[in-house]
């Protein structure tokens, strides 16, 4: 009671003469996960046999294509199966052949639980499971998912939309746990409501893991590979081990934030920009320029506008001047630090006397000299401020090259 490999000399017109009938899977779309077998008219390939009750006769041939798993079923119990493509002859007198194909021996244990164990009823049917990747299953978070972003140092909320795909990893388990016994055709969307709820729960957990791992919220949409791995960790136990299929890939089409999160992100980004003194100075100068432009177009007359602006400048001029001076000081400090920067052998860029990466001491400049502005040079003039290199009678620290006037280096304390 099972199937045996069918061998023949040729395929085509002679097929009808050699075999009683041929059973193939009914049409499978990209989202079809399970379908029944249909009889094909002899001599007229790929045309359904009218009036067929779907039952298989002893001696019938079952044709299995690539990426299909065929089950021979009697009363809901599995009689035999094959994971190998090819032609198989139904033989009620033979023992189950159990062609495991790519699945190896992993199917045998499951088969022992759901196999047929009685007298053949003569009403056996063939069913097919799609082993291809089932793509394009849509998802979207129903409510915003909380996401703590260490970069913004804030609890943010996002929504994610996209698609995911699944693949059957144990077709016998999938048949037993995911397919109802009276079904003749199942689309993934027919059974997806429960799985989608579980998927979204796992998605929330996966997004939270990305947050713990320090991934910035703005990078979530580009982390499909990592998200697929997170999802596999969350769903392997429940879907793969219990139902015989797994999440293969997750693609995020878009990520959006709630209004409060948008405000926090914009505020943080603006703060980061205004932390740069060059940007702040540009903002100050731009504000003054806009004030002059608006004054010139004042409908009450430019004289009145400029007079009002003058009062405003007198009142706020001190603040504007102080702001510009602060910006200038910070820009000068940045330039000085950049001029005094050095790169350690470990690759770290530093401005002090010791590497902040490995702790190594700043090497002394070979044949170089340190200007009073702090820049290290090798030529006769400072590359930062243009000062001339001091005469050879000046004292230089043999340790760091700093020009000194006393007996001890003012930079590193080394005795001259």
Please report whether residue 34 resides in a domain. Answer: yes
pLDDT for residue 155: 86
Please report whether residue 269 resides in a domain. Answer: no
Which of these three, 130, 157, 183, is where a domain ends? 130
Q: Are residues 140 and 235 located together in one domain of the fold?
A: yes
Please report whether residue 99 resides in a domain. Answer: yes
- The burial class, CB within 10 Å (0-12 / 13-18 / 19+), for 294 is exposed
Q: Are residues 298 and 219 located together in one domain of the fold?
A: no
pLDDT for residue 321: 61
Which of these three, 314, 339, 364, is where a domain ends? 339
pLDDT for residue 58: 82
Q: Are residues 109 and 122 located together in one domain of the fold?
A: yes
* Contact in structure between 416 and 405 (CB atoms under 8 Å): no
- Could you tell me the CATH number of the domain that includes residue 141? 3.30.479.30
Series of mean pLDDT values for 10-residue runs along the chain (416 residues): 69 51 89 92 48 71 94 89 92 82 79 72 86 93 88 86 92 92 90 89 88 87 80 79 88 85 75 55 57 57 53 52 60 60 78 79 65 76 82 68 75 79
Q: Are residues 118 and 139 located together in one domain of the fold?
A: no
CA distance 202 to 314: 62
pLDDT for residue 358: 82
pLDDT for residue 104: 77
Q: Which residues pair with 78 in a beta bridge?
A: 73, 115
> Crossing angle for the helix pair 302-339 and 277-296, nearest 10 degrees?
170
Q: Are residues 143 and 253 located together in one domain of the fold?
A: yes
Please report whether residue 268 resides in a domain. Answer: no
Residue 257's SS3 state is: strand
pLDDT for residue 328: 61
Which of these three, 130, 146, 178, is where a domain ends? 130
Q: Report DSSP letters for 125-154, one per residue.
A: EEEEEE-S-EEEEEEE-SSPEEEEETTTTE
Q: Are residues 224 and 325 located together in one domain of the fold?
A: no
Please report whether residue 270 resides in a domain. Answer: no
pLDDT for residue 129: 97
CA distance 404 to 406: 6
Q: Are residues 258 and 285 located together in one domain of the fold?
A: no
Q: Are residues 239 and 287 located together in one domain of the fold?
A: no
Please report whether residue 95 resides in a domain. Answer: yes
Q: Are residues 8 and 126 located together in one domain of the fold?
A: yes
pLDDT for residue 372: 77
Length of the chain: 416
Cα-Cα-Cα-Cα dihedral sign, residues 211, 216, 221, 222: negative
Please report whether residue 267 resides in a domain. Answer: no
CA distance 159 to 124: 48
Q: Are residues 213 and 143 located together in one domain of the fold?
A: yes
pLDDT for residue 126: 94
DSSP classification of residue 238: I
Q: Are strands 61-64 and 22-25 parallel, antiparallel or unpaired?
A: parallel
pLDDT for residue 168: 95
CA distances in angstroms from 16 to 5, 6, 50, 125, 270, listed in the order given? 17, 14, 16, 21, 76
CA atoms within 13 A on the CB side of 386: 0
Q: Are residues 377 and 409 located together in one domain of the fold?
A: yes
Longest CA–CA span in the chain (Å) reads: 113
Domains contained in the chain, number:
4
* Contact in structure between 323 and 284 (CB atoms under 8 Å): yes
Boundaries of domain holding 353:
340-416
pLDDT for residue 133: 95
* Contact in structure between 87 and 63 (CB atoms under 8 Å): yes
CA distance 123 to 58: 10
pLDDT for residue 2: 78
Q: Are residues 158 and 193 located together in one domain of the fold?
A: yes
Please report whether residue 201 resides in a domain. Answer: yes
Instruction: Identify the H or E element spanning 74.
Output: strand 68-74
* Contact in structure between 342 and 368 (CB atoms under 8 Å): no
């Amino acid at each position: 009671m099972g199937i045996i490999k069918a061998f023949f000399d040729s395929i085509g017109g002679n097929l009808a003469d050699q075999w009683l009938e041929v059973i193939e899977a009914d049409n499978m779309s990209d989202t079809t996960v399970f379908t029944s077998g249909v009889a094909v008219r002899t001599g007229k390939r790929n045309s359904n046999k009218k009036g067929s009750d779907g039952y298989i006769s002893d001696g019938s041939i079952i044709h299995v294509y690539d990426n299909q798993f065929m089950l021979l079923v009697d009363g809901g119990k599995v009689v035999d199966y094959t994971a190998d493509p090819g032609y198989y002859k139904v033989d009620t007198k033979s023992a189950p052949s159990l062609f495991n194909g790519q699945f190896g021996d992993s199917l045998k244990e499951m088969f022992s639980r759901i196999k047929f164990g009685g007298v053949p009823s003569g009403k056996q049917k063939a069913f097919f499971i799609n082993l291809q990747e089932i793509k394009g299953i849509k998802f979207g978070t129903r409510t915003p998912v909380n996401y703590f972003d260490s970069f913004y140092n804030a609890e943010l909320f996002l929504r994610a939309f996209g698609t995911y795909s699944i693949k059957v990893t144990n077709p016998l388990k999938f048949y037993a746990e995911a397919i109802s016994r009276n079904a003749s055709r199942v689309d993934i969307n027919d059974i997806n409501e429960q799985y989608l709820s579980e998927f979204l729960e796992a998605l929330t957990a996966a997004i939270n893991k990305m947050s713990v791992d320090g991934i910035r919220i703005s990078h979530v949409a580009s982390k499909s590979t990592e998200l697929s791995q997170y999802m596999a960790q969350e769903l392997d136990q429940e879907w793969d081990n219990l139902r015989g299929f797994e999440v293969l890939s997750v693609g995020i089409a878009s990520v959006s934030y709630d209004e409060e999160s948008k405000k926090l992100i914009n505020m943080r980004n603006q703060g980061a920009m205004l932390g740069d003194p060059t940007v702040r100075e540009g903002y100050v100068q731009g504000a003054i320029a806009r004030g002059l432009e608006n004054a010139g177009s004042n409908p009450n007359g430019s004289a009145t506008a400029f007079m009002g602006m003058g009062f405003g400048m007198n009142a706020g001029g001190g603040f504007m001047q102080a702001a510009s001076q602060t910006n200038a000081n910070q820009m000068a400090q940045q330039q000085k630090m950049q001029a005094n920067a050095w790169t350690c052998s470990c690759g770290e860029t530093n401005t002090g006397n010791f590497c902040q990466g490995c702790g190594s001491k700043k090497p002394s400049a070979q044949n170089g000299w340190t200007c009073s502005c702090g820049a290290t040079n090798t030529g006769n003039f400072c590359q930062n401020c243009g000062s001339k290199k001091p005469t050879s009678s000046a004292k230089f620290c043999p340790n760091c090259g700093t020009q000194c006037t006393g007996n001890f280096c003012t930079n590193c304390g080394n005795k001259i």
